[in-house]
Amino acid sequence: GADIDCEFPPSTLILSNIIWERADLGSSGNLDIMYKTLGETREFSIIGRPKGSTLHFFGHSPLDRGLYRCLATALDPITQHTVTVFQDVPFYPHFRFGVKEFKPCCPPNGIYKDFHHGPLLFK
Q: Where residue 26 sits, what CATH number does that domain have?
A: 2.60.40
Q: Is 91:2 a contact under the CB 8 Å cutoff?
A: yes
Classified as helix, coil or strand, 35 is helix
Q: How far apart are CA 106 and CA 112, in angstroms?
A: 9
Mention every residue, 6+ apart, whose C-beta is less than 8 A from residue 66.
Answer: 22, 23, 24, 25, 90, 91, 92
pLDDT at residue 10 greater than cutoff 80: yes
- Adjacent-strand bridge partners of 69: 21, 88
Asked if residue 6 is part of any domain, the answer here is yes
pLDDT digits (tens, 9 = 90+) for 15-38: 999 999 989 887 766 777 778 888
Asked if residue 79 is part of any domain, the answer here is yes
Classified as helix, coil or strand, 62 is helix
Asked if residue 48 is part of any domain, the answer here is yes
pLDDT digits (tens, 9 = 90+) for 66-111: 999 999 999 998 999 999 999 999 999 887 655 444 444 433 333 3
- Nearest CA-CA partner of 23 in 63, 67, 54, 87: 67
pLDDT of residue 95: 75
Q: What percent of the chain has pLDDT over 70?
A: 74
Backbone angles phi, psi at 37, to 5 degrees: -60, -35
Q: How far apart are CA 7 and CA 5, in angstroms?
A: 7
List the domain range (segments joined by +) for residue 38. Answer: 2-91
Please give the tally of structural domains in the chain. 1
